[in-house]
Amino acid sequence: MITLGVILGLKKGNIDCPRKILALVLGIEIIGVALSISVILRGSQKIAALERPDPGRRREEQEVELQVEQGEWKKTRIEVSPRKPTGEEAEAALDLAETEIRKEYLGKNSSADRVYRRLELKNVYQKVVKAGWSFSPSGLVDETGNIRQEAIRDPVNVKIRGLLRCGDHDREIRLNITIVPLPFSASDALEFYLTQGLKEADREGETDQQMALPESVAGKVLHYRRERKNDGPTVCLMGLGALLLTVFMEHRRKKQEHNRFQASLNQDYPMVLSQLGLFVGAGFSVPAAFAEVGRMYTARLGRGHPKGEGYEAVLTLSRKLKDGCSEQEGYLWLGEKLGNRNFRKLSLLLLANMKKGDSELRRQLEQEENAAFDERKIRARVAGEEASTKLLLPMMGLLGVVLLVLLVPAVNQLGI
């Protein structure tokens, strides 16, 4: 019914589907329905035995329905062990196991007369044949075929006895091999012999301050050396790091000096404008006003006042004008040399004044002075906020100290 519904939905949705596929699907559905009806009509199949797994397989759990007399049917699981092989099957399995052993027991060894690698000896063959192994002389090979090379000094003939069992049938297999010392040409020989030589050297000189290294192993002369530590690249990297750090610190120092220089210019700018406006309003020419501002600044320096970069620029300009520099060149120097936005505005204002005359200069200086003082207030407010932010970390540290001072005595009194 679901399949029919899907087919009808495909047709309503105008989704094309090959008719052969539809016919195949409907045929499969019809067969499934027929099987279901057949099982329902025939009912459950009564059984009296369960099929055992083939020899060599694991025990299986099979599900059946169980009824006690006329009670209800209940599902239960029964564990069935695998079937034991018959005599013919056991002999055939033993033959296959013996063939496999004689073909593979040497493992990666090329000949039974020259064995030094692990033997391929297993405990189970053909899934149903169990094997047990013994060696004469003992102690040279373990049951899994690993060879104790440290016990081999000369070639040794070893007899291998294997007991194979399949069901109730047993078979004995005998093998002969010659175990030889590990040849130095083997891939792991150097590591093996060096390990043995180092162990022996360590054991012989346990009371010495130094451990003597073996001069030879397996007839091969050994030489040792210790690689000298090359500090050259490290020194070069340190020099490069020092150079980069020096460049960075110099750049940072120049940037800090530039910022301090610009900050000093911005701080002096409003007062310079105020004094210039005062002298210009009193009838002084602009060069004379600069000279008076410079003279007042020099007098303040003599009384111990701090240096100001803005006043230093005014003092330099007044000296240039006194030495014969034209006003235009002096005002251009003031705007370009200092690289300050405020003094560049003053330079443009003075250059424009040279063309228009001094009638508007006093008013323009007052306007610029008011704007400069407003900007100075804004910078002072921002600097105060930054300072308060920087004080947060020390305040947090002080808070931690206060908490420790309060909590430690309380914890001591509680005896925690």
Tell me, yes or no, whether 281 and 371 share the same domain. yes
Domain stops at, among 122, 156, 179: 179
Q: Is residue 311 part of a domain?
A: yes
What parts of the chain have a pLDDT lower than 70?
Answer: 1, 3-4, 6-8, 10-11, 13-17, 19, 39, 41-45, 53-58, 82, 185, 356-361, 369, 372, 376, 378-380, 382-383, 387, 415-416
Q: Nearest CA to 261 among 198, 324, 339?
A: 339
Name the one residue in this structure whose structure tokens are 């010659």. 178
Any domain includes 398: no
Q: Report pLDDT for 163.
A: 93
372-390 pLDDT per residue, tens: 677 767 666 766 777 677 7
Specify the pLDDT at position 176.
93
The pLDDT, as a whole number, for residue 244 is 81
Let me know whether 257 and 175 are in one domain: no
Residue 346 belongs to what domain range? 253-381
The predicted structure's pLDDT at residue 181 = 85
**Three-state secondary structure string covering 97-152:** HHHHHHHHCCCCCCECCEECCCCCCCCEECCCEEEEEEEECCCCECCCCCECHHHC
- The verdict on residue 20 lying in a domain is no
Is there a domain that residue 28 lies in?
A: no
Say if CB 60 and CB 78 are below 8 A apart.
Answer: no
End-of-domain residue from the set 151, 179, 207? 179
Report the number of distinct structural domains present in the chain.
2
Q: What is the mean pLDDT of the chain?
A: 81
C-alpha closest to that of 309 among 373, 269, 265, 339: 265
Does residue 362 sit in the same domain as residue 263?
A: yes
**Could you give the 3-state DSSP secondary structure of residue 230?**
coil
Structure tokens at 119: 């033997």
Q: Is residue 151 part of a domain?
A: yes
Query: What local confidence, expressed as pLDDT, does residue 39 receive?
Result: 65
Predicted confidence (pLDDT) per residue in 30-78, tens digit: 887 777 777 676 656 677 777 776 665 667 777 777 778 777 878 888 8
